């Protein structure tokens, strides 16, 4: 428990001078955490607390599926657990493959969770779970017009990103790698280009992050936050892994703000060579 408090307090202290804001809401933690695939509710609770996160994603499709299968009580218990943790909920249209399906799911989520926030997914390919960027832009436009505050799961394509911003999105969430793959940042160049192209928009690396060093690398590129699920939920010790990610995010952010040196091809001596003694 001491380790959890230390992580949370450090993150909050850092956030006082380096705030993060989504649609007018300030948060201290730069780690967003998914709630699927955990071995038990107790382990999920422990991981959320250890991470220091203030935002968790919840799939409405999973909760609705539980209710339909006669496990309504389990669904209610899960929702009570999330409320008791005092975190903000980011409903997710996970698994949706059409614009109509995503929009309908988002509308149901707003009614159920009482928030205009929605993590918008429109999946276009089954093997990689790559976003259908055409449907994504269309759904984002419809939902933004209807008062939703959209967090779109997208690729690092700058043209798509421009269209999402024009559709009303004030946050962009490009993937690092395919969902659940743990491969890290497949296209650092593309992610770096997106950061440079949208300097004033919160950017969140979403999906594919496997270990804390991947998260630190995203933050060193100047990204504002990281959203992950599988890397923590499927770890041997989810709470310990959640703490490791929280620390990695803080280290990566501090490194970015410290203005790191540029990489170079040749060595550069750290000790001056001028004026050194010459022994004859």
Active centre residues (catalytic):
119
Is residue 202 a contact partner of residue 224, using CB atoms and an 8 Å limit?
A: yes
Strands (E), 66-156: 88-92, 117-120, 149-154
Sequence-ordered list of residues with C-beta below 8 angstroms from that of 240, at least 6 positions apart, any chain: 50
- To 5 degrees, how large is the angle CA 110–CA 62–CA 214? 90
Enumerate helices (H) and strands (E) in the chain, giving the number of each.
11, 10
150, β-bridge pairs: 118
Cα–Cα distance, 178 to 259 (Å, whole number): 30
Cα–Cα distance, 140 to 113 (Å, whole number): 19
Q: 134-163: b or e for each residue (b if 16 or more CB lie within 10 Å)?
A: ebbbbbbbbbbeeebbbbbbbbbbeebbeb
Strands (E), the chain: 20-22, 25-27, 31-34, 55-59, 88-92, 117-120, 149-154, 173-174, 204-206, 225-228
151, β-bridge pairs: 119
The single-letter DSSP state of residue 172 is B
Is residue 219 a contact partner of residue 252, using CB atoms and an 8 Å limit?
A: yes
Tokens of 57: 């994603």
């Amino acid at each position: 428990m001491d380790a959890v408090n230390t992580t949370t307090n450090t993150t909050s202290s850092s956030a006082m001078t380096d705030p993060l804001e989504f649609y007018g809401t300030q948060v201290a933690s730069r780690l967003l955490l998914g709630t699927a695939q955990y071995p038990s509710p107790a382990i999920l609770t422990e991981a959320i607390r250890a991470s220091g996160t203030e935002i968790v994603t919840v799939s409405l499709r999973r909760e609705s599926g539980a209710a339909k299968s006669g496990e309504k009580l389990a669904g209610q218990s899960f929702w009570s657990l999330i409320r008791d943790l005092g975190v903000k909920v980011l409903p997710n249209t996970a698994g949706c493959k059409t614009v109509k399906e995503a929009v309908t799911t988002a509308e149901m989520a707003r009614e159920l969770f009482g928030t205009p926030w929605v993590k918008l997914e429109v999946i276009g390919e089954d093997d990689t779970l790559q976003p259908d960027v055409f449907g994504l832009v269309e759904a984002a436009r419809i939902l933004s017009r209807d008062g939703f505050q959209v967090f779109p799961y997208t690729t690092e394509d700058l043209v798509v990103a421009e269209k999402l911003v024009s559709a009303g999105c004030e946050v962009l969430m490009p993937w690092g790698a395919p969902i659940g793959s743990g491969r890290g940042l497949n296209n650092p160049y593309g992610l770096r280009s997106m950061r440079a192209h949208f300097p004033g928009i919160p950017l969140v690396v979403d999906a594919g992050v496997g270990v804390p060093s991947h998260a630190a690398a995203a933050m060193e590129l100047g990204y504002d936050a990281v959203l992950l699920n599988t890397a923590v939920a499927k770890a041997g010790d989810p709470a310990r892994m959640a703490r490791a990610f929280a620390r990695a995010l803080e280290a990566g952010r501090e490194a970015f703000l410290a203005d790191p040196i540029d990489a170079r091809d040749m060595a550069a001596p750290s000790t001056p060579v001028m004026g050194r003694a010459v022994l004859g």
